[in-house]
Amino acid sequence: MADPSTGAPDFDGWSCPLPLRHTERIVMGHGGGGRMSGELIEHLFRPAFGASGELHDAATVPIPVGSSRLAFSTDSYVVRPLFFPGGCIGDLAVHGTINDVAMSGARPIGLSCGFIIEEGTELSVLGRIAEAMGAAARAAGVPLVTGDTKVVDAGSGDGVYVNTAGIGVIPDGVDIRPTRATPGDAIIVSGPIGEHGVAVMSQRDGLEFGTEIRSDTAALHEMVAAIVAVCPDVHVLRDPTRGGVTATLCEIATAAGVGIEYEEDRVPVPDAVAAACSFLGLDPMHIANEGKLVAIVPEAAADDVLAAMHADPHGAGATVIGRVVADHPGVVTARTRLGARRVVDLPLGEQLPRIC
Amino acid sequence: MADPSTGAPDFDGWSCPLPLRHTERIVMGHGGGGRMSGELIEHLFRPAFGASGELHDAATVPIPVGSSRLAFSTDSYVVRPLFFPGGCIGDLAVHGTINDVAMSGARPIGLSCGFIIEEGTELSVLGRIAEAMGAAARAAGVPLVTGDTKVVDAGSGDGVYVNTAGIGVIPDGVDIRPTRATPGDAIIVSGPIGEHGVAVMSQRDGLEFGTEIRSDTAALHEMVAAIVAVCPDVHVLRDPTRGGVTATLCEIATAAGVGIEYEEDRVPVPDAVAAACSFLGLDPMHIANEGKLVAIVPEAAADDVLAAMHADPHGAGATVIGRVVADHPGVVTARTRLGARRVVDLPLGEQLPRIC
């Protein structure tokens, strides 16, 4: 980001200043597929991602011996602002797609990334995002293997959009999907909810407020592997991102044709999230998370799954919040702190857009 | 697209008018992960893509028995205008990623798609794009298996951006990559060049000109399979998109450390492309193609490969344009129509941006 006093770029945290061809900002030529595109790949993306292989239209990924099913997922990220407490669009894009792949029980083996960059974006901003992606991918052990860059003219974008797609291998015998939710199953949330959404909202123009909350953005594939190891018959896994835990539960209830009941006072809501939501008139159950999962498992396996989650750094706060029931199929209900039971409906849209 | 005389949406070519919740345009809620997102998926994307399976964070794709390597690629599409003679951003996004996967010799087995849609975009426009994607995927026999939709506020996008990622399986024994170009190899172009770029340019604001040229957008995986069947030792395949055939040849010469020589008068350039390029001051060799490939094969196999390409509807115009040489490593030269030889350099950027 430019230093406001001097206008000079600040390369703090970016290990690879680009030989800049007399520009410190993205120009249309960076997206043209010619020499400037090549320089951007060679001097910015490849060092950031730690990539050393040959360049080709497609990457080659070895298939682990004995694999019979792939998980394949994609997400685009348009979060605003690009940097927020606890993360940025780059690590979010890596974690989010790793998590989507992992929610089928798969072990992620490779990621792609596609950048759509607005002309005029500072190269140092792009560098920081790419560095965050590379660091997140290395920490997760899931390589970024292929990518693409497009540049759109000023006014046709908003800095940087990132798409990631991911592939993984699903262990034989594992069958995790929303329709497997079965009456009697326990519903587990892996930790405190609402942190990502509140952290991003706290930085929005016109809405800034003080909070110590940081985004929970994290890769959950190791925790999923631990869950599957103790309970290969886990029925459903979902990461409650846009629409929050409420949207996740409503979608599962509808897909499986079952009822879902949870206890409001069992849902872990950090005090600072509760305070921000109270202030903004929002429901923490509707707020996006980026490092949490909802697990629906046979009641008999719930204690083992909880223990496996508690042993993972991202699951220390895991707790049972409710259960799947045969009553009111397709409907989610919550028992309030006063003991009443209310119907919980899918939100129409998102309370605040561009949260991920 | 709205009928300018009445303002009414024209659903021609779109089989699934959305139950519109009193809106004919995309609103932020369509990207929120709630009920409106669900309606968009259920009533627009799934019918257009012909998808009938269960919804989940990730799709499950069976791995064909005996496969040991995956090809994995991604591209974002920001072409403007969205619709152009011969195609639109939707079929382009399907064909382009199928081709990127196929250029490693792989058989594509699945595609993802990610939409970034600007608030206010007409639902009928989105519907036409989705229909084009579904039709292209069905025609190619490569299913769209997973997707994502984000909405950005008006002014932060330009209608619709599409990302596709693709996976394929690489047959054992096939090893196709730029560094395998070897002195003596024949260089084949699969047909007339420059059509996509000229077709898109002809529609640009401020640059409209009459031409009968249509985009060559097409999926080339069947032709690749035919090439590999007659020549499993094919050295290099590339689709000359952004930067045109010139960028492709320069990148291969650099990657492999070989020289490349071609004859200008052997390069198939349609008269209308030549006329448009002359008018615009452009070089057809720099213009993007979306349904052509460059094959670099051992000299001894060139006739068989040519015959296989000629038997494919997208390769009828295939022709040898030059060869790989040991001289001037990293440098591409062209013999001009007057018999002189000139050095051909990688373009700096793209002659006209947002071509794909």
State residue A212's pLDDT score. Answer: 83
Co-location of B133 and B88 in the same domain? yes
- Rounded average pLDDT over A309-319: 98
B2-36 exposure pattern, b = at least 16 Cβ within 10 A, e = fewer:
eeeeeeebeeeebebebeeeeeebbbbbbbbbbbb
Structure confidence by residue, pLDDT tens digits, A72-125: 999 999 999 999 999 999 999 999 999 999 999 999 999 999 999 999 999 999
Co-location of A151 and A199 in the same domain? no
Range of the domain at A110: 28-169
Output the pTM of the full model: 0.92
Q: Is residue A3 part of a domain?
A: no
Interface of B with A in 22-81 (CB under 8 A): 27-38, 54-63, 65, 67-78
If pLDDT is split at 50, 70 and 90, which confidence band does A22 have? low
If pLDDT is split at 50, 70 and 90, which confidence band does B213 have? very high
Co-location of A191 and A155 in the same domain? no
Q: In the predicted model, is pLDDT for residue A18 greater than 50?
A: no
State residue A21's pLDDT score. Answer: 58
Structure confidence by residue, pLDDT tens digits, A264-297: 999 999 999 999 999 888 999 999 999 999 999 9
Rounded to a whole number, what is the distance in Å from the CA of A319 to chain B's nearest CA? Answer: 22
Rounded to a whole number, what is the distance in Å from the CA of A67 to chain B's nearest CA? Answer: 7
* B85 near A CB under 8 A: no
Instruction: Fill in the amino acid letter for A272.
Output: A
Q: Do A28 and B349 touch (CB under 8 A)?
A: yes
Structure confidence by residue, pLDDT tens digits, B192-205: 999 999 999 999 87
Place of tokens 């070089």: B283
Q: Is residue A12 part of a domain?
A: no
If pLDDT is split at 50, 70 and 90, which confidence band does A209 have? confident
B149, B169, B189 — which closes off a domain? B169
Rounded to a whole number, what is the distance in Å from the CA of A321 to chain B's nearest CA? Answer: 21
Q: Is residue B6 part of a domain?
A: no
State residue B199's pLDDT score. Answer: 95
* A302 near B CB under 8 A: no
Specify the DSSP element, H or E, that contains B96: helix B89-102
Residues of B in contact with A101 (CB under 8 A): 57-58
Q: Mean pLDDT score of chain B, rounded to an integer? A: 91
Interface of A with B in 142-181 (CB under 8 A): 145-148, 150-153, 155-158, 161, 163, 165-170, 177-179
B244 closest CA partner among A26, A40, A32: A32
Rounded to a whole number, what is the distance in Å from the CA of B21 to chain A's nearest CA? Answer: 11
Q: Is residue A355 part of a domain?
A: no
Co-location of B186 and B335 in the same domain? yes
Co-location of B153 and B209 in the same domain? no
Rounded to a whole number, what is the distance in Å from the CA of B105 to chain A's nearest CA? Answer: 10
Q: Do B33 and A243 touch (CB under 8 A)?
A: yes
Alpha-helix residue ranges (DSSP H) falling in A141-243: 195-201, 221-230
If pLDDT is split at 50, 70 and 90, which confidence band does B217 have? very high
Structure confidence by residue, pLDDT tens digits, B134-193: 999 999 999 999 999 999 999 999 999 999 999 999 999 999 999 999 999 999 999 999
Q: Is residue B71 part of a domain?
A: yes
Co-location of B226 and B295 in the same domain? yes
- Please tell me the total count of domains within chain B: 2
Chosen for mutation from B23, B49, B76 (greatest number of chain A CBs closer than 10 Å) is B76
State residue A92's pLDDT score. Answer: 98
Co-location of A125 and A221 in the same domain? no
Give the chain B residue nearest A61 (alpha carbons).
B70
Q: In the predicted model, is pLDDT for residue A224 greater than 80?
A: yes
State residue B19's pLDDT score. Answer: 47
Indicate the residue of B33, B58, B99 with minimum beta-carbon distance to A101. Answer: B58
The CATH number for B313's domain is 3.90.650.10
> What is the DSSP secondary structure assignment for residue B314, as one 8-state letter?
T
Q: Is residue B231 part of a domain?
A: yes
Indicate the residue of B71, B161, B165 with minimum beta-carbon distance to A116. Answer: B161
State residue A263's pLDDT score. Answer: 97
B112 class by beta-carbon count within 10 Å (0-12 exposed, 13-18 middle, 19+ buried): buried
| pLDDT > 90 fraction of chain B, expressed in percent and rounded | 80
Co-location of A185 and A147 in the same domain? no
Residues of B in contact with A241 (CB under 8 A): 33
Place of tokens 């309970």: A231
Q: What is the total residue count of chain A?
A: 356
Co-location of A61 and A132 in the same domain? yes
Structure confidence by residue, pLDDT tens digits, B247-304: 999 999 999 999 999 999 999 999 999 999 998 889 999 999 999 999 999 999 999 9
ipTM score of complex: 0.92
| Alpha carbons within 13 A on the beta-carbon side of B293 | 35
If pLDDT is split at 50, 70 and 90, which confidence band does A4 have? very low
B130, B148, B169 — which closes off a domain? B169
Q: Is residue B349 part of a domain?
A: no
Q: In the predicted model, is pLDDT for residue A244 greater than 50?
A: yes
The CATH number for B50's domain is 3.30.1330.10
Q: What is the total residue count of chain B?
A: 356
Co-location of A101 and A189 in the same domain? no
Q: Is residue A351 part of a domain?
A: no
* A240 near B CB under 8 A: no
Residues of B in contact with A177 (CB under 8 A): 54, 56
Rounded to a whole number, what is the distance in Å from the CA of B226 to chain A's nearest CA? Answer: 19
What's the farthest any 2 CA atoms get from each other in chain A? 67
A169, A201, A220 — which closes off a domain? A169
CA A278 to chain centre: 25
Strand ranges of the sheet holding A294-297, from the earlier edge strand across to the other edge: A236-238, A294-297, A186-189, A319-325, A259-263, A332-335, A341-344
State residue A6's pLDDT score. Answer: 46
If pLDDT is split at 50, 70 and 90, which confidence band does B348 have? confident
Other residues' Cβ atoms within 10 Å of the Cβ of residue A338: 6
Co-location of A83 and A155 in the same domain? yes
Q: Are B147 and B31 in contact (CB under 8 A)?
A: no
Other residues' Cβ atoms within 10 Å of the Cβ of residue A189: 27
Q: Are B202 and B81 in contact (CB under 8 A)?
A: no
Q: Cα–Cα distance between A137 and A50 in angstroms, integer? A: 10
Q: Cα–Cα distance between A250 and B33 in angstroms, integer? A: 11
State residue B53's pLDDT score. Answer: 73
Co-location of A287 and A163 in the same domain? no
Q: Mean pLDDT score of chain A, rounded to an integer? A: 91
| pLDDT > 90 fraction of chain A, expressed in percent and rounded | 80
